[in-house]
Amino acid sequence: MARRRILVIEDDPAIRQVVVDALELEGYQPSEAGTFQDGLAAASRAELDLLLLDLVLPGGDGLALLAEVRLARPTLPVIILTARGEEDDRVEGLRLGADDYVVKPFGVKELLARVEAVLRRSAERPSDVDEVAIPAGTASLARAEVRFQDGERVELSAKEAEVLGYLVRRRGRVVSRSELLERVWRLPAHRVNTRTIDMLMARLREKLRDDAGEPRVIVTVRGKGYLFP
């Protein structure tokens, strides 16, 4: 069985070495970086199963790195490692898509247990999708366009493609408006009028040739949210 690959981005060499050694002893395949730029480059290039990320890094902020990683690799599991214990930092990290949050100082056993739990949950996480079939053609999430069987091509906005991709990766599950606001718009749900989502959905359905009266691509589940069936 292939060893799970874990990138440790931590500026403190001593802490980084302890974490790397513990992961190796547990049978994982760790790699490491100590700065914002090195960490971002490694997280963008390497094949990974999990990212362990410190928030305070030379050359940049860990939350900014997390935001960049989430744009490029939306399904990569992330655990934040930081000395920051304030609630605002925890909330911000989770809002940006972190799967767990460990405050320093932490015990190695606790960290390994959290790593195991996140990896176990990630096995059920939807994988990235570049294209998806729709009744009248194909939606390309990578190219942000819809190609119809009659030859017409329609361009999607970046946000329309992101919303469609989010629903597609959670196919068969109802996604609430608040979840879309927090995970796609990356804003607290209470700060944005849900009318914003309704208007985007109307435009997206029109571009997908999805009948608003009887939608087949993006279904509205009254009182709950949206569903890609």
| Tens-digit pLDDT profile for residues 18-56 | 999 999 999 999 999 999 999 999 998 878 889 999 988
3-state helix, strand, coil in the chain (%, to 5): 40, 20, 40
Crossing angle between the packed helical segments 158-169 and 195-207, to the nearest 10 degrees: 90
Strand order in the sheet with 78-82: 29-33, 5-9, 50-54, 78-82, 100-103
Residue ranges, CATH 1.10.10.10, the chain:
131-227
What is this structure's pTM?
A: 0.57
Q: What is the structure's pLDDT at 183?
A: 73
Residue-wise pLDDT tens digits, 66-124: 988 877 777 788 999 887 666 677 677 777 778 888 888 899 999 999 999 888 876 55
Q: Which two tokens stand for residue 179?
A: 């979840």
Q: What is the structure's pLDDT at 69?
A: 85
What CATH architecture is 5-122? 3-Layer(aba) Sandwich (3.40)
- The residue whose two tokens read 């292939």 is 2
Cα(182)–Cα(68) distance, integer angstroms: 16
Residue ranges, CATH 3.40.50.2300, the chain:
5-122
Neighbours of 59 (CB within 10 A): 13
Q: Does domain 131-227 have CATH number 1.10.10.10?
A: yes
Residue-wise pLDDT tens digits, 114-166: 999 888 876 555 555 678 999 989 999 878 899 999 999 999 988 898 899 88
